[in-house]
Amino acid sequence: MDSVAFLQEHTKGLFPEVLGVRFLAASPERVKASMVVRPDLCTTNHVMHGGAIMAFADTLGGDITALNLAHGAGTTTLESKTNFLAAAPEGSTVFGECAALHRGKRTMVWQTRVTRENGAVVAVVTQTQMVLEARLSPQETLRKLFEGKSLAEQQALMATLERSGASLYRSWASQTTQTDAQEALLAAAVREEENAALLEKFNE
């Protein structure tokens, strides 16, 4: 699936689809889209509502950020500033072109120019997107804990985790009134402590 199809599918059933956003071109550096100025998107004098213009630009800024994210990461708008320069009349089509001002690891800054069919600039929107790190699975979190460490450092870390596990087992044992469960938990705590002692011995 190419980037245009991906973005169109990504917004299906969401607010951008309600607005009528149609993506025309998309890459990690630039996104182009169009939108018809329907009557229900207008304010007095039959011109496009400022909020609709901002929502159009915000959609492009958020979606182009998505094209720059690592797998599993997310984004949210941190700040947005709009300069309104001309009206977009009911029935016309507006075009948005969003390009990068800054693409960082923590934040990305985008500028969207919203224009009419005749090229007149309706608005210029500058927005900052925060990058939300991907949530790691427990297995991935553990892997990252050990990543880049020497064997001795890994063994020392594992010994610490084993002793922490022993403490948890003892805590759980103190919270149950079932004798069988209590004995099993205390036995598990002893095994954890034995494992920790073995690992610590390797590093003596």
- Name the CATH topology of 3-132: Thiol Ester Dehydrase; Chain A (3.10.129)
The pLDDT tens digits for 153-192 are 999 999 999 999 999 999 999 999 999 999 999 999 999 9
Q: Is the pLDDT of residue 66 over 90?
A: yes
The pLDDT tens digits for 21-53 are 999 999 999 999 999 999 999 999 999 999 999
Q: What pLDDT band is residue 135 in, cutting at 50, 70 and 90?
A: confident
- In angstroms, rounded to a whole number, what is the distance separating the alpha carbons of residues 77 and 163? 42
% of the chain residues with pLDDT over 70: 100
Structure tokens at 44: 């007095």
Query: Would you mind telling me the total number of residues written for the chain in this entry?
Result: 204
pLDDT of residue 143: 86
pLDDT of residue 9: 92
Kindly state the average pLDDT of the residues 190-201.
Answer: 91
Q: Is the pLDDT of residue 83 over 80?
A: yes
Q: What pLDDT band is residue 129 in, cutting at 50, 70 and 90?
A: very high
- Which of 123, 148, 154, 99 is closest to 35 using CA atoms? 123
Beta strands in the chain (DSSP E): 22-26, 30-36, 74-84, 93-103, 107-115, 121-132
pTM for the structure as a whole: 0.70
Q: Where exactly are the structural domains of the chain?
A: 3-132, 138-202
Contact 31, 7 (CB under 8 A): yes
